[in-house]
A and B are shown apart, each in its own frame.
Chain A
Amino acid sequence: SQQGEEDPQALSIQEGENATMNCSYKTSINNLQWYRQNSGRGLVHLILIRSNEREKHSGRLRVTLDTSKKSSSLLITASRAADTASYFCATAPNTDKLIFGTGTRLQVFP
């Protein structure tokens, strides 16, 4: 399977703490994207990082990419209860399709 792995599978933190999720993938990529999914809902695109980029910021989100290690991390700073969701990385080996990681279920307690 080409599917990537994410760790941890589940993460529980208190509001205000930072949450870090890691993603490892198997193939070379054009870009890597992070998505959020609330329970039973569709996916919301959070951020895209290209293969020639190492770090990207968007609000409270910080994404890093290490293509030599085939890994990426998503950091959510100053987490809020509303950040509770599942987070998926998705790699784009080309422009045709996305391969999703296994996901991290984040629970933020108020």
Chain B
Amino acid sequence: GAVVSQHPSRVICKSGTSVKIECRSLDFQATTMFWYRQFPKKSLMLMATSNEGSKATYEQGVEKDKFLINHASLTLSTLTVTSAHPEDSSFYICSARRPGTSGSYEQYFGPGTRLTVT
């Protein structure tokens, strides 16, 4: 159990276009999902927290108008990179939070989406 999928796994787009990345929790409901960005050989940087039915909470320095997040259902969150530029090229990873044992929460990560903007 606790499988999270992302689609697409890879995408190449031209500068100025928008790209949508989907994150789905396949076998559990996730009221909260997270979006991370990872540069080559670097760590994951949290971009935003996506809450079902409400606006996402963005981390400092992340442009909310550029990275649109929609969490329309308990199993789906989407990240749209608007007017993409080459510097937006990166590996984007989502995770979904599920209650674990003893009141703690565990995050389950998707396989990631490699975005290349040309």
A contact residues vs B (CB 8 Å cutoff): 3, 30-31, 35, 40-45, 48, 50, 88, 92, 95-103, 105
Please count the residue pairs between chain A and chain B whose beta carbons lie under 8 angstroms apart in the complex: 55
Do residues B106 and A40 form an inter-chain contact, with CB atoms below 8 A? Answer: no
Inter-chain contact A42/B111, CB cutoff 8 Å: yes
Ranked nearest first, the 10 interchain pairs of A and B with the lowest CB-CB distance are A42-B111, A43-B109, A42-B109, A100-B44, A100-B43, A42-B112, A95-B105, A102-B43, A103-B43, A42-B110
In this assembly, does B107 line the interface, its C-beta being within 8 Å of a C-beta of chain A?
Answer: yes
Main secondary structure of the interface of A (DSSP, over half): strand
Residues of chain B within 8 A of A48, CB atoms compared: 104, 106
Contacts of A30 in B (CB 8 A): 104
Q: Does B49 contact A (CB under 8 A)?
A: yes
* B43:A101 contact, CB within 8 angstroms: yes
Contacting residues, chain A, for B111 (C-beta < 8 A)? 41-42
Q: How far does the Cβ of A85 sit from chain B's closest Cβ, in whole Å? A: 13
